[in-house]
Amino acid sequence: MIKKEKINVTIDSELKKYITTFAKEQRITVSDIFRGFILNLKQIKEKNTPEVILCSDPDFNKSLKDTVSILKTCRVKPHGYEEVFDINENEWRRCAAANPVFDFLKEPEEEIYTLDDGKPFNN
């Protein structure tokens, strides 16, 4: 059995609503959608034949096939973070610090370090 790990993905709230609704309608999980897409991407990049992902929604299948087609024809232009998000480093840090996705780090059981652990960090 392959060990599964968690990953945090930040997406627009509108996309989150859409993907969770879509997953419920298809009786699958959001993880299944990401896993299917990433597996296809990995197999394409490794020049393996992607396995067919069956989904009852024809729009999902079309979207997946279109994405695979774009990746095969190399019409993808990579962009750096700064090109996509016009945000400076300090603003990004402020937003990350205020993001509720990290609230779990404030819980007492996450306090695993003390001032006596390790050496002090000085810039």
Inside any domain, residue 102: yes
Q: If we measure between CA atoms, which residue out of 32, 82, 74 comes closest to residue 54?
A: 32
- Domain boundaries, position 94: 81-110
53 lies in a domain? yes
8 domain residue, yes or no? no
Per-residue burial over 65-99, b if 16 or more Cβ lie within 10 Å, else e, is eeebeeeeeeeeeeeeeeeeeeeeeeeeeeeeeee
Please indicate, yes or no, whether residues 86 and 68 belong to a single structural domain of this protein.
no
Residue 88 phi/psi, 5° resolution?
-85, 170
Question: Residue 71 in contact with residue 41, Cβ under 8 Å?
Answer: yes
The CA distances from residue 119 to 110, 112, 123, in Å, are 20, 15, 13
pLDDT, tens only, 15-39: 899 989 988 888 888 888 888 888 8
Residue 65 domain-assigned (yes or no): yes
pLDDT given at position 50: 54
Q: What is the pLDDT of residue 17?
A: 92
Number of domains into which the chain is organized: 2
For the segment 39-64, what is each residue's pLDDT rounded down to a tens digit? 878 877 787 665 555 666 778 778 87
pTM: 0.40
Does 57 lie in the same domain as 105? no
Q: Same domain, yes or no, for 17 and 55? A: yes
Q: Say if residue 18 is in the same domain as residue 46.
A: yes
pLDDT digits (tens, 9 = 90+) for 97-116: 888 888 888 888 877 777 77
Contact status, residue 30 vs residue 18, Cβ threshold 8 Å: no
Mark whether 20 and 55 lie in a shared domain.
yes
Q: Is residue 56 included in any domain, yes or no?
A: yes
